[in-house]
Structures are given as C-alpha cells and as structure tokens.
Chains A and B, each alone.
Chain A
Amino acid sequence: MASVTIGQVQKYFGQTHIIKGVSIDIDDGEFCVLVGPSGCGKSTLLRMIAGLEEISGGQISIGAKVVNDMPPKERDIAMVFQNYALYPHMTVRDNMAFSLMLAKKDKATIEAGVGKAADILGLRPLLDRYPRQLSGGQRQRVAMGRAIVRDPQVFLFDEPLSNLDAKLRVAMRTEIKELHQRLKTTSIYVTHDQIEAMTMADKIVVMRDGIVEQTGTPLQLYDHPANQFVAGFIGSPSMNFLPGTVKGSQVELEGGAMLPMPTNARAVEGQKVVYGTRPEHIDMATDSDGVATEVVVVEPTGADTQVFTKIAGVEVTSVFRERHDFKPGAMIRLKPDPTRAHLFDAASGVRLVA
C-alpha cells in the first residue's frame, strides 16, 4: 500500500492542452474519487497514473518513488477498465492468473492467489467459464478479481460500473466499498456520476476542463462548495441558482422578489450575485414571508415530493418530505433556509463567504 502524490501534472495531446496543472494528494489506504463532466480529463489523468499515457509535465509519485518514467508493470498498480478488458480466449481462472503467470510464480502460489480472490468475490463456480459466458455483473467482478490477485499498491478504476444496469450498479457500489474496507488498498476511482462519488469516496476531487475545482470529503463539498460549478455538480437534484443583486441585507431577484442574505455570506451593496439553494433546503412559507412561485410540475416519489416551480422565469426545484398535491399553475410561497443557502459572485462563480 502506498500514498499517491500528483504534483502540477500537465498533459498535451499534440497542441491540445488537456490536463492543466493538477495537484492531488492521496493518503495511504484512501478511496479517492475523481469526478467531473465528460471530457474533463479524468480518464487521461488515471491513465497517466497507470503509465498508459506519457506525462507531459509535473510529477506523479507512488509511495516514495517518482513514477514518471517507470513502465506500468513496475508501478505496482492494477486497473479495472470500463469495458473490463477481459481476455476473451482465457477462462476466468486464466484471466486472473495471467499477471502471476507472467511474474513466473509457481503453480501453487498462482492457485492460492486465484482461489483467494475468487473466494472474496464469490467467483469459485465460474472459474472455468469464458468471459462470453458471463453476465455483465459477473464480468465486472472478474475484472476486479484480476486486479485483486496482484495485491497491488494502488487500485485504479475507470468508470467500472457504467456498463451495468441501475440496480446492479447500486449493489456493486456497495460491494466495491466493502472490498475497500476489507483490503484497505489505496484506490483511485473515476466516475462522472456524483452519487457514486458521494457514496463511495473518502476524498472527492471535482475536475473541470483539466483543472481541479475542489478537493474534499463528500460532506465538505456538499456543505461548503468552493464555487458555483461544484455546488451544481454535487448533490441531487442539483442546487437551484437564482441570479440577483445585493440590496442591504437582502438579495433582490430579477423579478423583484426579495430573499434574505444567506447567513454566512458577505457581499457589497449592488453586487451581481447568484443565490444558491438546494431543493431539500426549501420550505413552504406563509403569506407573510418567502417568495411567490408558480407550480409547473409535481412529482411524488412516495418517500418525498419534488415540486418544480418558476420564479421570474427561473426554474426552481424543491423537495418536501411531506406530500403535496398542487395543481400546475397554482401559486405557492417558498422560503429557502438562509442558514444553508449560498451566495456566488455572478461573474467568477466563486462562493462569497464571510
């Protein structure tokens, strides 16, 4: 096991600048999730850690060793690919044994290693099957088995669950997390699904366009997003953003409605801002406070009710624990919780904190 240090890493594909100076410190045994929209460079960064892409600038270290010029097999890492990349002409057993065989381990060691990994993942009955004869979930498990067998210092996952159906994805999510708690191997996990990031990570790294927007624990990112992008990316349904202007201790929205300043925000008079509030932090209000909104759609999920409304043309989503039966077009008054709302600078997107 080892820590991973990524310092000011750059990547160019020809003239195109893809990774623009990324620094991340991952502690020994940590489960770190890289998350961000499609094309932001997550896979590229992961492949640079694996040694599948050259590093154009900066430094990557695993443990105490700088690995920039080290070939993949000496980096002591294992990778689980999005399409699993199982060798189609080898049985599950041979797939898992391949790395040990190349390392010229003796038969008994290989047998023991494969057996142990197979037991951990419940693959014993499938050892003599070929990849074609497995279901998607089973293939996914074999791909993890192949990684476990090597007992590496670091696990790398590139969207390993994105080919599975929704239900299986949730189950495998838990399974990977349990596996990590058991093996305690440093893991770097790439996904564009923020729910996966929130549920699995010790540390989340939010990326956009080749830079790191914010690094932190799931709840840090949820409670204290550094900017509007992270605030919108983390959390589901995502945060509502209402453009407005600071007026004294209030924010005047574009339609003229007034909202109280978020408690911990600080802005100057007349500043153009964006008022951010999560759907789960909005309450129904009485006639005397809150802002009037027009109901667009109501979606009951059973456990809670999602209400889509419009304030001055901006769509606002709110989630209520209790059940409501509003008719589309009805006017209701909503009140964001000022202690949990955020204020962002309209131009830079940076969160304005006191």
Chain B
Amino acid sequence: MSQGSGLSLLGRLNNSANALGFIFMLPAAAILLVFLTYPLGLGMWLGLTDTKIGRDGVFVGLENYKSLAEDSVFWLSVFNTVFYTAVASFFKFFLGLWLALLLNENIKFKSFMRAILLLPWIVPTTLSAIAFWWIYDSQFSIISWVLVKAGLIDKYINFLGDGWNARFSVIAANIWRGIPFVAISLLAGLQTISPSLYEAATIDGASPWQRFRHITYPLLTPIIAIVMTFSVLFTFTDFQLIYVITRGGPVNATHLMATLSFQRAIPGGQLAEGAAIAMAMVPFLIGAILISFFGLQRRAWQQGTKD
C-alpha cells in the first residue's frame, strides 16, 4: 500500500473496486435514465396539468388528485386492483408451488409435463384472453354447457354480467396465465437443492412435511421472494386480460387502475387524469418492492466466502 502514491490514475482506479464499479455501471445507468425515467417523469408532469388529447395543458397542481379522491369509480378500481392482486397472487403462489413440487418428483413423462405447464405462458395474452371470453360467454360458455349436461345446474351462469362473478372470472384467467411463471421458477429453485439434504433429513427422522418445512421452504425463500415480487408487480399492473375480457365492466366492477387509467386517458381523452391514476399506482408498487427488498436481503447463511 505504501507504494500507492507512484501509481497512475488508471492503476489507482484498478485498485478501487468502488470507482471501477461506478464506471462500469454508467452505461446501464444512462439507458435506465433515458428509457425509464423520462416516461415516468413525463407521466408525473402530465398528472399535474389539465392536458387533454389535442390540447396542451397548464400546470394545475394537485387538482387531478383531489378530484380522484372524491371519485368513487377510482376508489372502486383501487379496491378491484388490490383484491385482484391479492387473490390471484395467493392462488398463483400455492398452486405454482404445488405444481413445482409435483414436477420435481420422479414422475412419468416429466419433460412432457413441464412443456405442457409452459403452454399458458407462451400463448399470447390477448389470444388466451379471447379464449376465456368465449369460455365465459353467456350463451356459448363451455363451463355452463358441461355443468348443465351433467345436471348440476339448470341455467347458464352469467359469468361476466354480474359484478362478483366477473371479478372471480378474470381472477381465474389471471391465475391460469400466471401459474407457469411461478411454477417453473420455483421448480428451477427446487432443483438447486441437493437430494442428499433430503436423504440426510430422512435419516435424521424427518417426515415428508418436516422435510418441506425445514429444508425445502427455507432454502427456497430467496427464490420465492423474487418470484412473488415479480408476480405481484405483473398482476397489479395487469391490463390485457381485463381489457379483452370485460373492458372493466360490468359497471366498472372489474376496472383495474391500469384499465381505468387507459380508459380515461385515451378513449376518454382526459390525458392528465389518466396519468394521475397511473401515478397513483406508484406508491403501491414501491411498497411491494420495499417488502421484497427486505425479504430478498441475503440471509446470514448465504453469506461467507467459501465456494
């Protein structure tokens, strides 16, 4: 270290991991700044004006947010979004974990089953949304048809015409669409757990449930945290499924913040109000990210220098 004074600037940079790291980070930071911060900033600014389509607005302060606070449709969309995200994420997590555990066992046609599992994910969302639209159709619904034929119900179910029915219908579609991501990611996580740990635990006297509880679950938590953060973010900002299946109806019962924002801004022409609704999503998203940030912090057992 005493010879450090004689080194060139480059030499000193080389010795300082922080400075070097900063330089390597610059290109990525620049890209983030241009492509992420600019639209976000523009949205934030629009939310503080009274811009309409075809007319530049002037700065109006928090006017848009004040009117949103008294807008019952906006609050309904907030409720819908939180409900949609909570219920769908809950089921995606448990069903996804269950499927991952199942596919991690030595079952027949393993790779075939894994490929099948990915199907909902590789079909374009709009396409699967249209399929669901048909499944839920009031006259041609296959579900209603089967149930009627089986004699379980005598009248076709009004899937998309009733508020709560519609909510659960779109949630079901979202779960179907989101499970592959959760299941495949968790499966990848499961496969990093050495089988000999399970053997050691078996010899130590652990039952299958105890093996899950004391080995699988703790070792999987870092991956669960990442996967569920992404899943929650995707679900919270969902747009396509709703827009194709219900367009927010009936009577706004399935409007999410994202669809309401679009509805007000583009077809409705109220760009500023749409932007304000979109901005109102940010605190929720930051909340979700913060939770996962703390959840994701490296646990003590992951630290250390060996290997």
Contact = CB atoms under 8 A, between A and B. Distances in A.
B300 interface: yes
A253 B210 CA distance: 65
A52 B300 contact: no
B218 A130 contact: no
Question: What 4 pairs between A and B have smallest CB-CB spacing?
Answer: A132-B304, A73-B205, A99-B204, A85-B196
B199 interface: yes
A270 interface: no
A88 B215 CA distance: 9
B210 A83 contact: no
Contacts, number: 73
Contact of A133 (B202, B203, B214, B304): B304
A139 to B, nearest CB: 9
Given A73-B204, A102-B205, A102-B210, A132 B307 contact: yes
Interface residues of A, number: 28
Contacts of A83: 194, 196
B200 A89 contact: no
A90 interface: yes
Majority-rule SS of B interface residues: helix
A50 B203 contact: yes
Interface in B195-242: 196-197, 199-206, 210, 214-215, 218-219
B55 interface: no
28 contacts: A50-B203, A52-B202, A52-B203, A72-B203, A73-B204, A78-B203, A79-B200, A81-B196, A81-B200, A85-B199, A87-B200, A87-B214, A87-B215, A88-B219, A89-B218, A89-B219, A89-B299, A99-B205, A102-B210, A103-B205, A130-B300, A131-B301, A132-B301, A132-B302, A132-B306, A133-B303, A133-B305, A133-B306
A90 B301 contact: yes
A77 interface: yes
Nearest to A73: B205
Interface in A88-142: 88-90, 98-99, 102-103, 130-135
Contacts of B300: 130
Contacts of A87: 197, 200-201, 214-215
A79 B206 CA distance: 14
A150 B206 CA distance: 14
A88 B204 contact: no
Interface string B284-306: 00000000000000011111111
Interface in A23-62: 50-52
Interface of A: 50-52, 71-73, 77-79, 81, 83, 85, 87-90, 98-99, 102-103, 130-135, 146, 150
Contacts of B215: 87
A15 B301 CA distance: 42
B203 A134 contact: no
Contacts of A50: 203
A130 B301 contact: yes
Given A89-B301, A131-B301, 7 more contacts: A73-B204, A81-B196, A85-B199, A85-B200, A87-B201, A98-B204, A132-B302
Interface of B: 194, 196-197, 199-206, 210, 214-215, 218-219, 299-307
A350 to B, nearest CB: 39
Looking at B203, B210, B303, B307, the one whose CB has the most chain A CB atoms below 10 A away is B203
Contacts of A85: 194, 196-197, 199-200
A150 B201 CA distance: 13
B78 to A, nearest CB: 38
Contacts of A131: 301
Looking at A52, A78, A131, A150, the one whose CB has the most chain B CB atoms below 10 A away is A52
B219 A132 contact: no
Contacts of B306: 132-135
Looking at B205, B299, B303, B304, the one whose CB has the most chain A CB atoms below 10 A away is B205
A77 B203 contact: yes
B262 to A, nearest CB: 44
Contacts of A89: 218-219, 299, 301
Contacts of A81: 196, 199-200
Nearest to B200: A85
Contacts of A99: 204-205
Contacts of B307: 132
Nearest to B198: A85
Contacts of A132: 301-307
Nearest to A135: B306
A187 B200 CA distance: 17
Nearest to B210: A102
A52 B301 contact: no
Given A87-B215, A89-B299, A98-B214, A130 B200 contact: no
Nearest to B215: A87
A83 B197 CA distance: 10
A134 B214 CA distance: 21
A83 B196 CA distance: 8
Contacts of A73: 202-206
Contacts of A88: 219, 301
A303 B299 CA distance: 52
Nearest to B197: A85
B201 A98 contact: yes
Nearest to B303: A132
Contacts of B303: 130, 132-133
A79 B203 contact: yes
